[in-house]
């Protein structure tokens, strides 16, 4: 028998089921539609994230749901460049490879943390640090990225500096890390500790406030520039800086970035990998003021100042994003010497700190010439690679090299450097190739110089010149008090090194001008 009521119910149930099915399809397609909106660089890194992809997508979807176009672009920016970032960290393990339960940040202060670790070591005398690398793209969680995003925008939009562009915000305020430090949740802590900086800027202006940051730092943070950490920890984490209250210039520079970014101020680290006329290197900062001017600040020195005291081999500024002009952006890092040249996230800012020039450098003729050649500077009694150029018909071009320095072009292969050409002196207006002339020689006098050279009894000194390696011209041992040494048959147009038997690695190369004067680099 035909039942209209039953039929209506069945039709209604069919409609509900149909609508339900449509909704299921729609909800299934929504993530796909959102995914289709991801830029190619973001989608590539989502694939690279492996099992961590859902966490990154949660962060992206959060940004989309805010409806804030800048927050969407900012989250995309972080994830699109995340694959080149990682943390260099460590933990302690015993002889059996078991992890020791110890975290210094669990203690009230660093002294108590050290005391606790001493007790652990007394019970486990053979423990050793185990270095580990954590890739951001495989480990960072959505909650961390979302909190970082919101705190960064809050700081930027309420900053005393109102003129920072969105592009500079993304590069120099938004990033959750500075270098290769362990990832720690720092924004809220730094925002509270250094909130007084905003008041200083408002009351006195940006530049006038910077010395107060230095003075505050001097009160509670110790510059241990000679510190050699026993742990395999290249950089302290953001909270470790506040906890340990000590570190070398590299940590000080990072701390200044965390400090300024927490207040919505664009800040960056500048790395001097090697001095060109001294040993070792240095780290400084650049902050962006209300006029969008870059202020270079060196808080790692006794006196606050903006200018460098000597010639750098290079000054490179760390960025978060990839720079397609870096060597590592197209060359396998196994073919690149260790150091910053293996990174993709930096820009060359040397000419912001020193007078530079472009150098065309001749290379030795070879049947098969490598495509990349490196500029090397003398630092710590060794030639250190600090820049690169492409080879072209037995020559290369090095950009933004500091004047009044000397370099040697070298190839890099299987972990070794080999000379690709003779030393080149970079003058104010010209360059000079130093190919030693063994046919023209002269007598050379090396005299004592206050604060630089003092002949000591019992020490042997040797004069060397460069001819694809350091070659000895002569040796002399001090047997009685003297103020100078003479050496015969010294070739002209050469690069020299005067080396003491008790050297501490501070000696500098020099040339001898036609008038007999010595010019040291």
CATH number, domain of 459, equals 2.60.40
Interatomic CA distance for residues 196 and 311, integer angstroms:
35
Q: Is residue 47 part of a domain?
A: yes
Which pLDDT band holds residue 239 (cuts at 50, 70, 90)? very high
Q: In whole angstroms, what separates CA 76 from the centre of its chain?
A: 23
Number of domains composing the chain: 4
Q: Is residue 107 part of a domain?
A: yes
Q: Is residue 123 part of a domain?
A: yes
Check if the beta carbon of residue 156 is closer than 8 Å to that of residue 265: no
Q: Which region among 27-31, 227-231, 279-283, 479-483 has the lowest average model confidence (pLDDT)? A: 27-31
State the average pLDDT over residues 121-139: 95
Q: Helices (H) and strands (E) in the chain — how many of each?
A: 13, 24
Interatomic CA distance for residues 13 and 114, integer angstroms:
70
Same domain, 168 and 303: yes
Interatomic CA distance for residues 172 and 164, integer angstroms:
10
Q: What is the pLDDT of residues 143-159, one digit of tens each?
A: 999 999 999 999 999 99
pLDDT of residue 245: 96
Q: Is residue 326 part of a domain?
A: no
Strand ranges for 365-404 from DSSP E: 372-378, 383-390, 395-402
Check if the beta carbon of residue 157 is closer than 8 Å to that of residue 163: no
For residue 269, give the nearest of 277, 153, 278, 281 by alpha carbon. 281
Q: Is the pLDDT of residue 31 over 60?
A: no
pLDDT of residue 21: 52
State the average pLDDT over residues 433-459: 94
Largest CA distance in the chain: 131
Interatomic CA distance for residues 165 and 156, integer angstroms:
10
Interatomic CA distance for residues 510 and 494, integer angstroms:
9
pLDDT of residue 17: 44
Check if the beta carbon of residue 463 is closer than 8 Å to that of residue 445: no
Q: Is residue 6 part of a domain?
A: no
Same domain, 149 and 185: yes
Percent residues over pLDDT 70 in the chain:
93
**110: its two tokens:** 């660093």
Which pLDDT band holds residue 494 (cuts at 50, 70, 90)? very high
Q: In 248-392, where does DSSP find H-type helix?
A: 249-262
Q: Left (φ > 0), alpha (ψ -120 to 50) or beta: where does 415 sit?
A: left
Q: Which region among 5-14, 21-30, 171-180 has the lowest average model confidence (pLDDT)? A: 5-14
State the average pLDDT over residues 300-313: 83
Same domain, 117 and 143: yes
pLDDT of residue 307: 81
State the average pLDDT over residues 466-491: 96
The residue out of 433, 454, 481 marking a domain boundary is: 433
Q: Is the pLDDT of residue 35 over 50?
A: no
β-pairing, 222-223 vs 518-520, is: unpaired
Which pLDDT band holds residue 227 (cuts at 50, 70, 90)? confident
Check if the beta carbon of residue 130 is closer than 8 Å to that of residue 92: yes
pLDDT of residue 334: 93
The domain containing residue 163 runs over which residues?
Answer: 84-318
Q: What is the pLDDT of residues 55-111, one digit of tens each?
A: 999 999 999 999 999 999 999 999 999 999 999 999 999 999 999 999 999 999 999
Same domain, 267 and 221: yes
**259: its two tokens:** 């400090």
Which residue matches tokens 């990072």?
254
Q: Is residue 336 part of a domain?
A: no
Q: Is the pLDDT of residue 195 over 70?
A: yes
pLDDT of residue 13: 47
User: What average pLDDT is seen over the chain?
Assistant: 92
pLDDT of residue 337: 97
Interatomic CA distance for residues 406 and 311, integer angstroms:
11
């Amino acid at each position: 028998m035909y039942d209209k009521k039953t039929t209506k119910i069945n039709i209604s149930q069919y409609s509900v089921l149909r609508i339900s099915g449509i909704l299921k399809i729609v909800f299934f397609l929504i993530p796909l539609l959102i995914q289709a909106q991801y830029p190619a660089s973001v989608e590539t890194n989502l694939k690279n994230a492996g099992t961590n992809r859902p966490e990154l997508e949660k962060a992206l979807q959060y940004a989309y749901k805010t409806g804030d176009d800048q927050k969407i672009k900012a989250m995309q920016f972080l994830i699109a460049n995340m694959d080149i970032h990682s943390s260099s960290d460590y933990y302690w393990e015993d002889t059996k490879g078991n992890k020791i339960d110890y975290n210094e940040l669990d203690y009230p202060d660093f002294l108590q943390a050290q005391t606790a670790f001493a007790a652990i070591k007394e019970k486990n005398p053979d423990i050793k640090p185990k270095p580990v690398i954590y890739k951001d793209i495989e480990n960072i969680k959505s909650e961390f990225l979302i909190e970082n995003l919101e705190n960064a925008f809050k700081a930027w939009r309420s900053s005393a500096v109102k003129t920072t562009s969105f592009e500079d915000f993304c590069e120099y305020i938004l990033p959750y890390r500075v270098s290769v430090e362990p990832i720690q949740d720092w924004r809220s802590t730094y925002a509270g500790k250094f909130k007084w900086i905003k008041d200083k800027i408002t009351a006195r202006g940006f530049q006038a406030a910077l010395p107060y940051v230095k003075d505050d730092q001097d009160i509670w943070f110790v510059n241990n520039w000679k510190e050699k950490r026993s742990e395999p920890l290249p950089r302290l984490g953001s909270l470790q800086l506040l906890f340990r209250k000590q570190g070398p210039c590299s940590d000080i520079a990072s701390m200044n970035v965390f400090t300024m970014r927490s207040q919505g101020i664009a800040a960056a680290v500048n790395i001097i990998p090697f001095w060109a006329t001294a040993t070792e290197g240095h780290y400084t900062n650049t902050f962006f003021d209300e006029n969008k001017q870059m202020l270079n600040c060196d808080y790692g020195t006794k006196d606050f100042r903006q200018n460098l005291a000597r010639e750098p081999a290079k000054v490179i500024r760390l960025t978060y994003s990839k720079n397609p002009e870096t060597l590592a952006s197209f060359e396998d890092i196994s073919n690149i010497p260790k150091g910053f040249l293996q990174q993709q996230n930096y820009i060359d800012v040397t000419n912001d700190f020193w007078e530079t020039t472009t150098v065309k450098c001749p290379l030795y003729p070879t049947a098969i010439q490598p495509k990349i050649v490196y500029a090397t500077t003398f630092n710590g009694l060794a030639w250190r690679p600090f820049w690169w150029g492409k080879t072209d018909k037995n020559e290369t071009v090095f950009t933004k090299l500091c004047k009044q320095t000397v370099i040697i072009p070298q190839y890099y292969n299987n972990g070794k450097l080999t000379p690709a050409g003779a030393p080149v002196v970079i003058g104010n207006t010209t360059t000079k190739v130093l190919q030693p002339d063994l046919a023209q020689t002269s007598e050379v006098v090396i005299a004592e110089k206050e604060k630089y050279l003092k002949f000591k009894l019992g020490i042997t000194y040797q004069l060397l010149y460069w001819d694809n390696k350091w070659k000895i011209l002569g040796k002399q041992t001090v047997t009685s008090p003297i103020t100078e040494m003479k050496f015969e048959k010294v070739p002209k147009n050469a690069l020299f090194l005067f080396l003491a038997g008790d050297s501490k690695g501070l000696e500098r190369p020099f040339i001898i001008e036609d008038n007999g004067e010595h010019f040291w680099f």
